[in-house]
Amino acid sequence: MPSRRFASLHGRIERNAMVFVLAILLVCSVGGLVEIAPLFALENTVEPVRGMRPYTPLELAGRMVYVREGCYACHSQQIRPFRDEVERYGAYSLAAESAYDHPFQWGSKRTGP
């Protein structure tokens, strides 16, 4: 059960619109600082993978068919880095492997081969 002091503070903030707006701005600023600022400190957010190259024209045409037909719904899901899934499906997906994929076709669950 919340204390009386907290309930009193909460009530004052809700009654005063300017204080409420300032509290929202403060919370959003702190959240933005925590989430976005570290990205500027990193040189690169994706580690390069050896052997990555742009698609050849034939590979690009095949990928366009793949996207058009909706094959990504089952077959472009991420393999999670759990031992059993790696043994069953092979190495898990890395962000660098999709560097040339536009639009990205990643999902959240592996359901196909």
Assessment of whether the complete model's pTM goes beyond 0.85: no
For the chain, how far is it from start to end, CA to CA, in angstroms?
A: 51
Q: 85-98, pLDDT tens digit by residue?
A: 778 877 777 778 88
Going along the chain from its start, the domains and CATH numbers come out as 4-41 (no CATH), 49-113 (1.10.760.10)
Phi, psi of 87 (to 5 degrees): -65, -35
Residue type (1 letter), 39: L
Which tokens in the block code for residue 1?
A: 């059960």
Reported as half-sphere exposure (CB side, CA atoms, 13 A), residue 88 has a value of 11
> How many residues are there in the chain?
113
**Neighbouring C-beta atoms of residue 76, cutoff 10 Å:** 19
Q: 32-46, pLDDT tens digit by residue?
A: 999 988 888 877 777
